[in-house]
Amino acid sequence: MSEATDPWLIVGLGNPGPEYAANRHNVGFMVADLLAERIGGKFKRAQKAQAQVVEGRIGSPGPANRRVILAKPMSYMNLSGGPVTALRDFYKVPTDHIVAIHDELDIDYGMLRLKLGGGDNGHNGLKSMTKSMGSDYHRIRFGIGRPPGRMQVADFVLKDFSSIERKELGYLVDRAADSVECLLAEGLERAQSAYNS
């Protein structure tokens, strides 16, 4: 069982490079960027992994204050497991103290679902992480909905959010970042009851 003093590794999943920055598939990066801003840190290249990291603390002073490593793997999405496992080993983070923030096709746009463990539901980033280190990590699933009409899933996730979706995106990314803070401070059940929609 993990100790209260163990660090947390918060991983935003996405693809590196400006051409992917606003894609639906990169919502994990967006949440990680906001969390970095909240703790007053800037992402820098990790020494031991193909990733960018920010170290800091989340939560009010006292027992709920948690040491965190925010990470954005700089491999492509389908290779996320390598960098995440390298960071886990370097920072000595228990697997149940890892949180993956990712886009989720089977949830309506903007809805959140928090869970521990489970399958990858066809998500290449999760598939890679689970192959590298097992499935006993937390997930914050950010709903992006299904592609319209006959659009292929791969095309849909690699498109930017629509103009209608972008009107709410800032609020929804903010809410996802809040859910991470709640998970760390109050545990999974409290975070689920507050944020699972």
- Mean pLDDT value of segment 137-159: 95
Residues in the chain: 197
CB atoms near residue 123 (< 10 Å): 25
Beta-bridge partners for 57: 67
Whether 59 has a pLDDT exceeding 90, the answer reads no
CA-based nearest residue to 183, from 127, 104, 116:
116
1 — pLDDT class (breaks 50, 70, 90) = very low
Of the residues 25, 97, 102, 123, only one is catalytic, namely 25
Backbone angles phi, psi at 127, to 5 degrees: -55, -45
25 is catalytic: yes
Give the model confidence (pLDDT) of 17-36 as tens digits: 999 999 999 999 999 999 99
Residue 79 backbone class (left: φ over 0; alpha: ψ -120 to 50; beta: rest): alpha
**Between 154 and 197, the higher pLDDT residue:** 154
- Parallel/antiparallel/unpaired status of strands 66-73 and 98-104: unpaired
- Parallel/antiparallel/unpaired status of strands 112-116 and 138-143: antiparallel
- Mean pLDDT value of segment 174-182: 97
Q: Which two tokens stand for residue 92?
A: 């000595």
Q: How far is Cα of residue 103 from the mean position of the Cα atoms in its chain?
A: 9
Q: What pTM was estimated for this model as a whole? A: 0.95
Residues 6+ away with beta carbon under 8 Å from 107: 113, 141, 142, 143, 144, 145
Whether 130 has a pLDDT exceeding 90, the answer reads yes
Mean pLDDT of the chain: 94
